[in-house]
Chains A and B, each alone.
Chain A
Amino acid sequence: MLTWTIYISFLGMTVLMCLPKGRPQIARLTALATAALGLVFGLAGASGFAAGDGVKTLVNAPWVPALGINYHLAVDGISLTMIVLTGVAAVAGVLFSWNVEQRPKDFFAFYFALIGGCYGVFLSFDLFLLFVFYEIAIVPKYFLIAAWGSTNREYGAMKLALYSFASSALVLLGIIAAHVISGAESFSLVDLAGHPFSEGQQAWLFPLVFVGFAVLAGMWPFHTWAPTGHVAAPTAASMLLAGIVMKLGAYGCLRVAMTLFPLGLQIWSPYLGALAVIGIVHGALVALAQKDFKFVIGYSSVSHMGFVLLGLLSLSMVGMHGAVLQMFSHGVIAGLLFAVVGRMVYDRTHTRELDELQLMRLKKALPYAAVVFAMAGFASMGMPGFSGFIAEFQVLIGAWHGFSAYAILAGLGVVIGVAYTLRAMQKSFYPDRSGLFAGKHDDPQLAPITWQEKAGATLLLACTVAVGFFPRLLLDWIAPALEAPLFDGLRKGVGL
């Protein structure tokens, strides 16, 4: 069932490419159906998954026997969390791209190539296969941004593509080296995780692969692609970039680098953890100073992804739980924030300058958007009741065990997070009086919020609230997955 999430996406892509020109509505409905089917397949697969299953193989067939490459798709609790996230984000992304008028069928074809690649990465348990899907996800991002983007789109798209491609080159090098060192017989994740790489080998393989993936997760100082890319991208692509693609990187860090090279993790975690903390604080401070609404959200993504990395590097179980939960949580919340900024506000007002938005009295003109942004903002700040609270709280606890100084600094990041979110919220939707009196008083006529936007926003909000109140929905998948034999090496390596 779960494998069909991949196939339906590529099928949808093919159908969309073949659709006749000039029938946008058909393209949109096809896209919505594809995304919804993907989500349904994902949920159906999830319902058939018992937490104790460990790693459940879906397909395992020889692909290139000469090199020991298998077409091995499997799922565990972590994959499942990410699959559900991808499904939700894909549906929401389609709903928020309903107004793409320029060649919608091509837009959605690239969109589903990206989605299919993401599903593939989350389900691959063969490293070659994982890498194949990982690369498949890079190319469509370029075209989505370069052809349908806004501010500085060609620059943003190229920067993102080159960062992705260069970082994946590091990963490729690491995968080939690991394959050869382990006896050149297999690319299977399980086999390689069972191979005892020497400490000397892990000491250089771990940073190679971890950094390779972490670039895509927005690790400071390699994060600069993220804000420019997010800002340049069309709404749905920003949602996917922040919502899923950055998670691909974090997922790779956990699934490949940490699982295969736990001793390397032990050696490098203080240094890489420091980078994660710098990312949290730096991202938050820069977000505080932005004038462009979308850049605020872009830098907030860097900051929040820092929590994921810090959790992964915390060398504690609770930290890793928090990191995976944060991947889901940030995926949903960032998607929502970008949807409000890109679709609800920018597509109507055609400006993202906070100083200009301040004069527009958007609270009156777009009350729905104001409420959604307020809720998403609270979720993003880590308000209890939303998913972000549980996730970041766990990360901080995990980090406290290992590196208490980092936990304190990251806590500072949370405080700054409250500041920049409130600032953006106030400037955009709830300006103070001085702002109002300075500007014009006639209320702008803006198109009302469509049902698609409402549906998408409701879906994402429902996810973050549901996980916020019942974190066990996901933790019951995540925690047993990290106890599975696949992570034996990791747990032993870091002494858990």
Chain B
Amino acid sequence: MTDFSYSEVFRLAVPESMLVVGALLVLLNDLTVIRGRTSAQRSAFHATLTSATCLAGMAWLQIMPQAGAVADGMIVMNPTIALVKQAILLLTAFTALISWRVEFTRHLGEYFALLLLATVGMLFLASARHLLMLFVALELTSLALYILVAFHKESRASAEAALKYFLFGGMAAAFTLFGLSLVYGLAGSLSFSGIAEGVVGREPDMLFQVALVMALVGLGFKVAVAPFHLWAPDVYQGAPTPAAALIASGSKVAGFFVLVSLLLGGFGTLAGDAGWGRFMPGWQPVLAIFAALSMVIGNLVALNQTRVKRLLAYSAIAHGGYALVGVMANSAEGVSAVVYYAVTYALATLGAFAVVQVVEGDAGDDRLESFAGLRERSPVLALCLMVFMLSAAGIPPLAGFFGKFYVFTAAVKTGSADLGLIWLVAIGVLMSAVSFYYYLQVLKRAFVASAPDGFSPLRVQPAVLAVILLIALGVVWFGCQPSVLLGPLSDGSPPLSP
């Protein structure tokens, strides 16, 4: 290992440090300043503090842009990574704000502190270019999320979901660790750039295939792509809604970004080929299987869901598949496409979860029928839900459409002239036509069905409403002006270099 400067580590990890301090402050205040206040006051206080911490981290990344790498790639910063980190921070800030009125637990300090700690893990994940750091950050995120899922202590579903998540997650982590150890043995290095040098000229032999598939199990689990998706529906369903929202948004962004950095940064030369009729072993064919399975299973199973959170879970699996298509592009453009896709998808999903939470809080569950007549009960909320659902379905001019378009275009461009990956893109576009059906099922309840007799207008916390509106505006804005997000992604240094 090279020599190591602590000041350098600190310089690159200021936002993470801020979050840790924020988490400690939340715990401290919970025991001192606001002790004995009502639960509503306490959760509003914590939500404000948590989101303020995240916003401070975002501001730091904006004002003091850092670049560089330390300790053999344990922490790397460049403009793309800064953008990803800002997105994660924003998503956590929103998650904290939609927890303005936490009713599922009395342990508010711990809840908000864990939100922040999970986010620290995601931030480290985004800037990790080193296998050890990757694994540690992955575990930090996962452990915090396991607990968050279980936070609704009186709910059996919550406990069941957490146990399922934990057991699957632990298993996946073990596979990953084994895979990574094989990678280390093959390449002789733990840093991604070292691995890239170590595998130059190597053929993707059997041992490498085993190492790769095992390493991908853990990451595939993290981003919930088929066939590692089984936990997702139960967790989305059982977890407290804001926790599910964080798993579906921030954790996905980080997961996809690290997946891209590992595969493109470490194994760029061992991609193989998944083009129709030109099959060559490597990671592309593996991802092609994951992507095709995810798009087909996710979309088809979502068709007959009757609960909105489960529906969102299966839709998330499908979206994981679309994003993998972008990873397979194996190009700088593919990286921009995946980041754009993951960020805009995460925003729309978070928004959808926020709406679900409001409806659920009123009706007591998230069945499709609970959304009946949402248009009459809260026109603004219904309109925002329409934006989120249509964005996920890929309707222009919303962000989700451009994301899909960009990912698919990037994938078709690989191996340009003979359009090898077009078979996968064809599955993608046809399956997204299928997905229109279940998104419309939700919107049909909200806009076409009439509200039950004697309905009352929905009451929404102002902070939650503000978040939902902001996200809806963002989804429209990023869709109409993709360059706002693409600008920082597509100019400047190649996205994966320090």
> Using a CB–CB distance below 8 Å, which chain A residues touch chain B?
17, 63-67, 106, 128, 131-132, 135-136, 138-139, 142-143, 146-147, 154, 158, 161-162, 165-166, 168-170, 172-173, 176-177, 179-181, 184
Query: Nearest chain B CB to A229's CB is how many angstroms away?
Result: 15
Query: Nearest chain A CB to B213's CB is how many angstroms away?
Result: 30
For residue A102, which residue of chain B has the nearest CB? B450
Whether B417 sits at the interface, judged by CB under 8 Å, is yes
| Contact A162–B444 (Cβ < 8 Å) | no
Whether B401 sits at the interface, judged by CB under 8 Å, is yes
Query: Nearest chain A CB to B276's CB is how many angstroms away?
Result: 13
| Contact B406–A67 (Cβ < 8 Å) | yes
CB-based A-B contact count at 8 angstroms: 84
Whether B231 sits at the interface, judged by CB under 8 Å, is no
| Contact A173–B429 (Cβ < 8 Å) | yes
| Contact B401–A169 (Cβ < 8 Å) | no
CB within 8 Å for A161 and B406 given contacts A147-B447, A147-B448: no
Interface membership of chain B positions 426-438, coded 1 if the CB is closer than 8 angstroms to chain A and 0 otherwise? 1001101110110
Query: Nearest chain A CB to B121's CB is how many angstroms away?
Result: 31
| Contact A169–B412 (Cβ < 8 Å) | no
| Contact B397–A65 (Cβ < 8 Å) | no
> Using a CB–CB distance below 8 Å, which chain B residues touch chain A?
333, 336, 375, 383, 390, 395-397, 401-402, 405-406, 408-409, 412-413, 416-417, 419, 422, 425-426, 429-430, 432-434, 436-437, 440, 443-444, 447-448, 482-483, 486, 490
Query: Nearest chain B CB to A343's CB is how many angstroms away?
Result: 22
| Contact A169–B490 (Cβ < 8 Å) | no
Interface centre among B419, B422, B429 (most CB of A within 10 A): B429
| Contact A166–B437 (Cβ < 8 Å) | no
CB within 8 Å for A180 and B412 given contacts A67-B406, A146-B448, A169-B433: yes
Which residues on B sit within 8 Å (CB–CB) of A177?
A: 412, 419, 422
Query: Nearest chain B CB to A7's CB is how many angstroms away?
Result: 13
Which residues on A sit within 8 Å (CB–CB) of B443?
A: 143
| Contact A184–B448 (Cβ < 8 Å) | no
Which residues on A sit within 8 Å (CB–CB) of B490?
A: 66
A143 to B417, CA, bound (A): 41
| Contact B437–A162 (Cβ < 8 Å) | yes
Interface centre among A131, A180, A184 (most CB of B within 10 A): A180
| Contact A176–B395 (Cβ < 8 Å) | no
For residue B393, which residue of chain A has the nearest CB? A165
A169 to B425, CA, bound (A): 10
Task: Give the 8 A-B residue pairs with the shortest CB-CB distance, closest first.
Answer: A169-B429, A132-B396, A166-B433, A165-B433, A169-B433, A66-B490, A147-B448, A165-B436
| Contact A64–B448 (Cβ < 8 Å) | no
| Contact B397–A132 (Cβ < 8 Å) | yes
Which residues on A sit within 8 Å (CB–CB) of B444?
A: 146, 154
CB within 8 Å for A176 and B397 given contacts A142-B440, A146-B444: no
A181 to B409, CA, bound (A): 11
A177 to B416, CA, bound (A): 10
Which residues on A sit within 8 Å (CB–CB) of B433?
A: 162, 165-166, 168-169
Query: Nearest chain B CB to A176's CB is how many angstroms away?
Result: 5
Which residues on B sit within 8 Å (CB–CB) of A166?
A: 430, 433-434
| Contact B409–A176 (Cβ < 8 Å) | yes
For residue A134, which residue of chain B has the nearest CB? B396
CB within 8 Å for A67 and B440 given contacts A136-B397, A146-B448, A176-B425: no
| Contact A180–B430 (Cβ < 8 Å) | no
Which residues on B sit within 8 Å (CB–CB) of A147?
A: 447-448
For residue B333, which residue of chain A has the nearest CB? A66
Query: Nearest chain A CB to B473's CB is how many angstroms away?
Result: 14
Query: Nearest chain A CB to B411's CB is how many angstroms away?
Result: 9
A433 to B395, CA, bound (A): 54
CB within 8 Å for A65 and B483 given contacts A132-B397, A173-B426, A176-B425: yes
| Contact A135–B408 (Cβ < 8 Å) | no
Which residues on B sit within 8 Å (CB–CB) of A65?
A: 483
A165 to B430, CA, bound (A): 9
| Contact B408–A136 (Cβ < 8 Å) | no
| Contact B396–A135 (Cβ < 8 Å) | yes
| Contact A136–B436 (Cβ < 8 Å) | no
Given contacts A176-B409, A181-B417, 17 further A-B contacts (CB under 8 A): A64-B402, A66-B490, A67-B409, A135-B395, A135-B401, A136-B397, A139-B390, A143-B448, A161-B436, A162-B437, A169-B432, A172-B408, A173-B429, A176-B405, A176-B408, A176-B425, A184-B413
- Out of A17, A162, A172, name the residue touching B436 (CB < 8 Å): A162
A417 to B413, CA, bound (A): 49
- Out of B383, B395, B419, name the residue touching A180 (CB < 8 Å): B419
Interface centre among A135, A158, A172 (most CB of B within 10 A): A172
| Contact A180–B448 (Cβ < 8 Å) | no
Query: Nearest chain B CB to A346's CB is how many angstroms away?
Result: 21
A146 to B448, CA, bound (A): 7
A165 to B438, CA, bound (A): 13
A139 to B447, CA, bound (A): 12
- Out of A17, A64, A139, A172, name the residue touching B486 (CB < 8 Å): A64
Which residues on B sit within 8 Å (CB–CB) of A146?
A: 444, 447-448
Which residues on A sit within 8 Å (CB–CB) of B422?
A: 173, 177
Query: Nearest chain B CB to A155's CB is how many angstroms away?
Result: 12
CB within 8 Å for A136 and B395 given contacts A143-B448, A147-B448: yes
